[in-house]
Amino acid sequence: MNTETQSFIQKYDLLGCVQCGRCTGGCPEAMRTGLNPRRVVYDALEGNVPDELAKLPEIWDCTTCNTCAARCPKGLKPVDVLIGLRNILVESGVLQPTVRDALESAFREGNPWDKPRATRGDWMKGLDVSIAEPGEKVENLIFVCCTICYDPKVQVIAKNLVKILNKAGVDYGFIGDDETCCASEVYNLGEVGEEGLFEMMVEDNTELLNSYEATRIVAISPHCYSALKNQYPNLKADVIHYTHLVKELLEEGKLELTGELPKKIVFHDPCYLGKQNNVYDEPRYILSRIPGAEIVEFERSKERSLCCEGGGGKMWTESDSKEERLAETRVKDARALGAEILAVACPFCVLTLDDALKAKGFEEEMRVAEILEILGDLIKE
Amino acid sequence: MNNKPKIGVYVCHCGINIAKTVDVEAVSEFASRLPNVKVARNYSYMCSDPGQLLIREDIKNEGLNRVVVASCSPRMHEMTFRKTLAETGLNPYYLEMANIREHCSWVHEDREEATEKAKKLVFSAVAKARLLEPLYENEVEVEPATLVIGGGIAGIQAALDIADAGFKVYLVEKTPSVGGRMSQLDKTFPTLDCSACILTPKMVDVASHPNIELLAYSEVEEISGYVGNFEVKVRKKARYVDVNKCTGCGVCSEECRLAGRIPSEFNAGMGNRAAIYLPFPQAVPAKYTIDPERCLMLTRGKCGKGPKCEAACAAGAIDFNQKDEIVECKVGAIIVATGFDVFDAAKKPEYGYNDYDNVITALELERLVSASGPTGGNIVLGKGEDAFVPQEVAFISCVGSRDKSVGNEYCSRVCCMYTAKLAHLVKEKLPEANVRVYYMDVRAFGKGFEEFYDRVRREGVRYIRGNPSEIFKRGDKLVIKAEDTLRSTPIEDEVDLVVLAVGLEPRRDARQIIDLLRLSQSADRFYLEAHPKLAPVNTATDGVFLAGCSQGPKDIPDTVAQAKGAASSALVLLSSGKVKIGAQISFVNEATCRGCGYCVEICPYGAIELVTVNRMGNMVQVARVNEALCKGCGACSAGCLSGSIQQKSFMDRQILPQIAVLGGVK
Ligand SMILES: Cc1cc2nc3c(=O)[nH]c(=O)nc-3n(C[C@H](O)[C@H](O)[C@H](O)COP(=O)(O)OP(=O)(O)OC[C@H]3O[C@@H](n4cnc5c(N)ncnc54)[C@H](O)[C@@H]3O)c2cc1C
Ligand code: SF4
Ligand code: SF4
Ligand code: SF4
Ligand code: SF4
């Protein structure tokens, strides 16, 4: 066994595994791809990590939904093992071009979408947005997310949040063009390690975010929320998700929802909010406050929710699987419930589920909507 | 006498254990030149008879009044040599030991350096030996009675053994009946004995034994005192039924306005009871109890036009004015047998226990398959029109055991076998059903266990190696998502009934007893025994013993064995009638004690209290040590800021010179 394999085994505590199979049993990809996290953990004990395991195509099928780690009875994190394998590939330079481009863009432009840094704040044009100044006190520092900034399909999420913040008289500030990718997907694509891009971006972002006198950082995307909360050890401010803030505003009566939305709504738990951070109640509370709406639940919800395959770098990788995509399973389930709105609280979920909805041709009877998108129509200007 | 110390030093070879690494000759020669040393010798085995004889002869012939033995740890032979001294009439506390084995020869390789170290250790022992003072052991009488807390099979067995030996037992059980979890079980592995058939005779014995005072529906409220002399206050909760009048006929329960509307604890929520109830037909004592939290009369002061139970009871036993009673008793020993709780399956939400009626725990299945259960032993789920008999049945093992994610790293020891038992019972009652067990390991370690596991497999129960990850509903089937790890294949298995083999946990109210008795918990949160191998039924508190699942998960055979062990340990105490109180305990210099109470906080045994004394006309607070409770751990004297609390044989003026020789402070 080479030393690289040995230190790999130690780093991820692979000897602690009892081979119970809970990780693979719960893995949403296991049934539709060759991914078997338990086997990876097992094979790494005898095999040759850099030369054999890291080249398995299925390591790119992991969506980083975290089910495996949440279920493991021995405290292992198979998802991190897979990212460790991706890292070996990244370091050796053998990469799919799309992945390489995303990483390069993150390095150069501070976003994985190959968009210019200077246009990051363009979505704000024409809006009455308060921008925070370094050194100044601000209660809520808003962290937007690359995808929301640049993808016109989901910009409405941030725009509606501005509307809500202004309406409720919240002390807040956006960062503007200086905002840089939280690096969550950089981590998931395996650009980690001592000299890794991930560590570098965390350091730069920490410096930037700490330059504000913020009480808390409000992340709009669950992916940024999870990264800032769990992977940035040196942030001064607390990190919350926007659903925490909006729930607070509703509870304190600072925000009123007016009008009616007499629709059947089902909520899909984003993995980075639910399975990664146990935030289940806040989005449900917000939806429950929508006048006229009927809220239904998926059979597989909360801890048993099904991943939509939006995370884990899946935006930049292709899978060979011929099986139905999980987002398609999800919209089918939503339709079977008679839901008219499939509500989510994450920009990636919007993208994957909306694609699936179109692929299935369900546009007539149902739509996918981010919670903030829904709230937009229920707030009087 | 003893004014001038005359010390004998005895260096042991311990075969070659010491002599191989330490030059014992050189050490004894060195010792012979130390101040106050009269003789110094070395010998192959000091603990042997001839070795001890050497010491005795020298005491007689050379007039020694202090002895230093340089050998192994005092844990091994301090008692041996104390006896040697005592046999010659010398106070046994004139002994000091230098540990040149564990502390020296076993941990060093270099002979020269080890020899130098051994000399130093001997020198420091001699330095202290000069300053030793005679100490005297006290004895206290033992109250010939035992308190047993918890009336499960562990408590029942311990109580019966002690009572049969002729001593009084107070058996305190929290619930209205004795029996514990075993009374809820249908059959027992691996022999498939009917649980009630083997348990109920013992329950009846407990109630009728002349030496046992059964305090059911009671809780221990206060315990003070120490080994041999505990004073106990027990709260006998009001049953609101006069037990002397109640005939156990049960008419009240049938008539109760809430009959069939309160989930029955005994049936693990699978069936219902009334507000006035007998937990189960064979309950002991067979007296009814009104649930004060549910009864309309007791919660609202009104039950329709009048309590129906009262009207129905021909014996006139209902008494809404009954009050709790405090019973006081004195006992010499205490046995804790408070048992366990099953793991709360809701803590693993991925299994949908809270969401699906046909995901049940093994304890619930025990009640379903039991002839005395809510379905008369038929495996039927759902009620009325929804009732159905499951065809596809799955068991999931290790639910809440061996699982860091819920904080239980230990194996619960009984789940593998009770799963095999229940799978067998399902097969027996529903021969057409397909029964499978999802497992990660099968632990069939006990007598007859592997054979039973073999039998159950041959009966057609499928064992699938893989611990399921989640359960959800598809149509009217439950889908188990798992991996068949032997095939490396992820699967979705559609079934009608999932049985969760929930693990055993410390009781959720375990703190109550900890606070009463100052017990410790091991890392798994069960009560901690004094030594895992050599004192498995003792606790750190003398006179307090453990039995059954309160100490850790166990099956019935192990529980009964341990209960008998605890009973015998209590009997040793009771039948000797006296307990020795250690001599090397702490004492307070009341003249300098400032009454700060710091030591009171520190003492892990609660041996110190503050008392008010008259110090030259001023009433002041000072610490006082209860000699029977003090274990001589020394924590208090290390903590006392004014040096007022000191431990005999380890007083500052005795140990500081000893440390100084080793190169420490003067
Ligand atoms: C589903 C299941 C199936 C099982 N099947 C088998 C089997 O087939 N064969 C087998 O050998 N073992 C089996 N076991 C294990 C068996 O139940 C235990 O070994 C046994 O019950 C342990 O007895 P105990 O007296 O230690 O604890 P318990 O049975 O828990 O009894 C403790 C008693 O103490 C009382 N108590 C608790 N706290 C206090 C307090 N503070 N004051 C007063 N009283 C108190 C409780 O009310 C209870 O009556 C099974 C266990 C489970 C969960
Ligand atoms: S993170 Fe999710 S997709 Fe990745 S291996 Fe774990 S369970 Fe499978
Ligand atoms: S869940 Fe954990 S212990 Fe079980 S097979 Fe996966 S990594 Fe190993
Ligand atoms: S008073 Fe009423 S509720 Fe209470 S036990 Fe009697 S009949 Fe039942
Ligand atoms: S020596 Fe230990 S047990 Fe004795 S009184 Fe001091 S702290 Fe308590």
Taking the domains of chain A in order of start, what are their residue ranges? 3-92, 98-249, 256-376
> In this structure, what token pair is assigned to residue A152?
């016109």
With contact defined as beta carbons under 8 Å apart, do B152 and B548 qualify?
Answer: yes
Q: What is the mean pLDDT of residues A76-89?
A: 95
Yes or no, beta carbons of B485 and A21 under 8 Å apart: yes
The CB of B600 under 6 Å from ligand 5? The reply is no
Q: Which of A74, A90, A314, A54 is nearest to A192 (CA)?
A: A90
Which residue would you say has higher pLDDT here, A1 or A255? A255
Q: What pLDDT was estimated at residue B664?
A: 62
Q: Would you say residue A118 has pLDDT above 70?
A: yes
- Closest residue, chain A, to B399 (C-alpha): A73
Q: What is the DSSP letter of B104?
A: I
Q: What pLDDT was estimated at residue B138?
A: 87
Q: For chain A, what percent of residues have pLDDT higher than 70?
A: 99
Q: Would you say residue A123 has pLDDT above 60?
A: yes
Q: For residues B652 and B643, what is the distance between their CA atoms, to the nearest angstrom? A: 8
Distance from the CA of B377 to the center of ligand 4, in angstroms?
29
Q: For residues B614 and B620, what is the distance between their CA atoms, to the nearest angstrom? A: 6
Distance from CA of B472 to the nearest CA of A (A): 6
Yes or no, beta carbons of B483 and A74 under 8 Å apart: no
Q: For residues B290 and B240, what is the distance between their CA atoms, to the nearest angstrom? A: 6
Q: For residues B133 and B141, what is the distance between their CA atoms, to the nearest angstrom? A: 26
Query: Chain B partners of A303 at a C-beta cutoff of 8 Å?
Result: 349-350, 470
Residue minimizing CA distance to atom 8 of ligand 3:
A17
- Closest residue, chain B, to A74 (C-alpha): B404
Task: Classify domain A256-376 by CATH architecture.
Answer: 3-Layer(aba) Sandwich (3.40)
Distance from the CA of B211 to the center of ligand 4, in angstroms?
35
Q: What pLDDT was estimated at residue A156?
A: 97
Q: Which residues contact B617 (CB under 8 A, 6 or more apart)?
A: none
Q: Which of B201, B207, B197 is nearest to B171 (CA)?
A: B207
Q: Would you say residue B666 has pLDDT above 60?
A: no
Q: What pLDDT was estimated at residue A381?
A: 67
Whether pTM exceeds 0.80: yes
The reply to whether B465 touches chain A by the CB within 8 Å rule is yes
Q: For residues A128 and B114, what is the distance between their CA atoms, to the nearest angstrom? A: 82
The pLDDT tens digits of the residues spanning A20-73 come to 999 999 999 999 999 999 999 999 998 788 778 889 999 999 999 999 999 999
Q: Which of A151, A347, A379, B542 is nearest to A368 (CA)?
A: A347
Q: What pLDDT was estimated at residue A332?
A: 97
Q: For chain B, what percent of residues have pLDDT higher than 70?
A: 99
Residue minimizing CA distance to atom 8 of ligand 2:
A27
Q: Edge-to-edge, what's the strand order for the sheet holding A294-296?
A: A294-296, A264-267, A341-344, A367-370
The reply to whether B354 touches chain A by the CB within 8 Å rule is no
Measured CA distances, B11 to A193, A215, A323, B37 (Å): 59, 70, 80, 13
Q: For residues A330 and A332, what is the distance between their CA atoms, to the nearest angstrom? A: 5
Q: Is the dihedral of CA B317, B320, B321, B324 positive or negative?
A: positive
- What's the CATH number for A3-92? 1.10.1060.10
Q: Which residues contact A289 (CB under 8 A, 6 or more apart)?
A: A250, A257
The reply to whether B314 touches chain A by the CB within 8 Å rule is no
Distance from the CA of B149 to the center of ligand 1, in angstroms?
13
- Closest residue, chain B, to A22 (C-alpha): B469
The CATH number for A98-249, chosen from 3.30.1490, 1.10.10, 3.40.50, 1.10.287, is: 3.40.50
Q: Would you say residue B177 has pLDDT above 80?
A: yes
Question: Are A3-92 and A98-249 equal in CATH topology?
Answer: no
Query: Chain A partners of B359 at a C-beta cutoff of 8 Å?
Result: none
Q: What pLDDT was estimated at residue B329?
A: 97
Yes or no, beta carbons of B349 and A75 under 8 Å apart: no
Residues B568-596 as b or e (16 or more Cβ within 10 Å = b): bbbbebbeeeebebebebbbbeeeebebe
Q: Would you say residue B665 has pLDDT above 60?
A: no
Q: Would you say residue B1 has pLDDT above 80?
A: no
Q: What residue ranges line ligand 2, CB within 6 angstroms?
A: A 26-29, 35, 37, 62-68, 78-79, 82
Beta bridge partners of B29: none
Query: Chain B partners of A39 at a C-beta cutoff of 8 Å?
Result: 488
Query: Chain A partners of B466 at a C-beta cutoff of 8 Å?
Result: 20-21, 25
Q: What residue ranges line ligand 1, CB within 6 angstroms?
A: B 149-155, 172-175, 180-182, 185, 188-189, 219, 337-340, 342, 362-363, 366, 414, 418, 421, 507, 512-513, 548-549, 554-557, 559
How high does pLDDT run on average in chain A? 95
Domains of chain B: 7-129 (3.40.50.960), 145-237+324-339+507-578 (3.50.50.60), 251-312 (no CATH), 341-505 (3.50.50.60), 586-648 (3.30.70.20)
With contact defined as beta carbons under 8 Å apart, do B439 and B416 qualify?
Answer: yes
The reply to whether B503 touches chain A by the CB within 8 Å rule is no
- Closest residue, chain B, to A30 (C-alpha): B490
The reply to whether B473 touches chain A by the CB within 8 Å rule is yes
Q: Which of A23, A24, A271, A307 to mutate to test the interface with B (most CBs of B within 10 A)?
A: A24
The pLDDT tens digits of the residues spanning B213-263 come to 999 999 999 999 889 999 999 999 999 999 999 999 999 999 999 999 999
- DSSP states along A168-189: HT--EEE-GGG-----HHHHHT
ipTM: 0.93
- Closest residue, chain B, to A297 (C-alpha): B355
Residue minimizing CA distance to atom 7 of ligand 2:
A27
Residue minimizing CA distance to atom 14 of ligand 1:
B555
The reply to whether B483 touches chain A by the CB within 8 Å rule is yes
Beta bridge partners of B647: B586
The reply to whether B658 touches chain A by the CB within 8 Å rule is no
Distance from the CA of B553 to the center of ligand 2, in angstroms?
34
Distance from CA of A273 to the nearest CA of B (A): 16
The pLDDT tens digits of the residues spanning B151-164 come to 999 999 999 999 99
Of A23, A39, A304, nearest to B472 by CB-CB distance is: A304
* Mutation choice for ligand 3 from A9, A74, A79, A80, CB with most ligand atoms inside 8 A: A74
Distance from CA of A75 to the nearest CA of B (A): 6
Q: For residues A22 and B438, what is the distance between their CA atoms, to the nearest angstrom? A: 11
Query: Chain B partners of A23 at a C-beta cutoff of 8 Å?
Result: 469
pLDDT-wise least confident of A180-189, A335-344, B155-164, B604-613: B604-613
Q: For chain B, what percent of residues have pLDDT higher than 90?
A: 94
Q: Would you say residue B466 has pLDDT above 60?
A: yes
With contact defined as beta carbons under 8 Å apart, do A348 and A315 qualify?
Answer: yes
Of B404, B484, B492, nearest to A74 by CB-CB distance is: B404
The reply to whether B447 touches chain A by the CB within 8 Å rule is no
Which ligand 4 atom is the nearest neighbour of the CA of B297? 1
> In this structure, what token pair is assigned to residue A355?
């694609």
Q: Would you say residue A3 has pLDDT above 90?
A: no
